[in-house]
Amino acid sequence: MKKIITLFSIVLLLVLTACDSSEIYSDHQTFSDILWHKTDTPQFTVDLKNEQHCQLKLDLRLIYGYTFRNIKMNVSMNNETGKEKIIPIDFKVRNEDDSYKGDMMGDFIDIQEVVIKDTILPAGKYTFILEQMMDDKTLPFVNEVGLVLVDLDKK
């Protein structure tokens, strides 16, 4: 019985500490065939009720075997007034020693990179669009991409 209570306590602690209360928004889109085709442009819509002092991060989940050192992409940020900002990103996948960046679990590699370190977004509706800009029309071993907005005032 003591072992069960200890195990339950550890699981509960992990669940509670895994939640990041500073996240304003977090969503991910999966590529079912584990290929990121150039025509695939994941979109994320964020509705901010109040002005936010925040940071924008991109998440990437790869399958072991991804051959490139990076992924070139554009992040388009559009607001409801039609204003668009395009941010070119050179998302690093490998370290200088050619090892994968991020966290590995089995064949999955999870990498997170800050795209905008510090910005203030007025209240409103925003659409973020990700486009892969690599020379190859299809990137194999890309399982998922995600967008995370973090409230810098709660960090």
CATH number of 23-151: 2.60.120
Which of 41, 48, 116 is CA-nearest to residue 79?
48
Instruction: Name 14's Cβ contacts closer than 8 Å, sequence gap at least 6.
Output: none
Question: What are the residue ranges spanned by the domains of the chain?
Answer: 23-151
The pTM is what?
A: 0.83
Q: pLDDT tens per residue, the chain (155 residues)? A: 444 433 343 333 334 344 557 999 999 999 999 999 999 999 999 999 999 999 999 999 999 999 999 999 999 999 988 889 999 999 999 999 999 999 999 999 999 999 999 999 999 999 999 999 999 899 999 999 999 999 999 86
